[in-house]
A and B are shown apart, each in its own frame.
Chain A
């Protein structure tokens, strides 16, 4: 594999063109693949967000992509999870698409990759409509001010969201680089070491999104 190549993990739920195009526009060399060997050996890994938690976890566990991602993370490879790709980093998600077997947390939890500790839960639907669809603002935390993914991303900038689930409020604050307030306050960007996750879609977020993808490409280059 050529040096500096970013692998976009294909879990066969479509819609990766815009992520690829966004990374390429940011100067990245990009390969889309479901091949665990290529994922494990990548210079950077992007796990995009399409589909549902349980379905996606099932696919990447069976296909070996989950192990490959864990191997890459073990090497300190820069990782960017987008939307569902961010959710999968956490211990568990409450999104369940079908009846499955017992999980350690009871009937409705689905185990995630467990790279970051915390849960992913549904946004409460009350006065505000769920799914949270559209352009909303990200508010940088103190952690976010230092986060290399958010360099030159303006406080309060508008980015594009489309989701019903988000990182639960109980998450460790030191992981939270940006917050967004909709239905409840949730982490719209998480960061630990070389592991980054965004709840919004940078590839659909116009100029601010391209800035974030450029930052990730720069992080991968080291």
Chain B
């Protein structure tokens, strides 16, 4: 089994320590950081994402896999930076005002970091204006809002409107997610991106940042 394959397998079993060792070994053997990231870590995470979608595994499996991925990316991050690859972009993330649930938000955060995005985590119960203030202060390209409750879903629309009022709506991509959220709600409140799972959220975030650069 190639070392990249081993990394992918260890990640899928959530073995953070082994992933870390294997990534270091791969670096020592001269594999490029980008290669390790794409063909080892993200490959493993893609398998996890797919299995989760098909109900073959559950949230704890995804959490430990994402944690293992982060252990691996920690090693290659300095290499990615020194090789001239700058951070893909910056994201401000949080669970909306009134909602205190953060497992989904934390998972998305880990996936974003795995994809090379810089993430500013505002935690839970975040007032709409705080998303905006922090996005401005951090010069973030993306705001990610999470909620588990239908009761607090309207907060997402308040974030969109607050971005308009602050005059940054054109500059910032607003992504929304959480169990009750769907594409039609995203359309209704004129947010930019909805995804059903954390892996696609990270993928879309990368695309949005690249599109912004073009």
A, B assembled together: no
* Residues of chain B whose beta carbon lies under 8 Å from any beta carbon of chain A: none
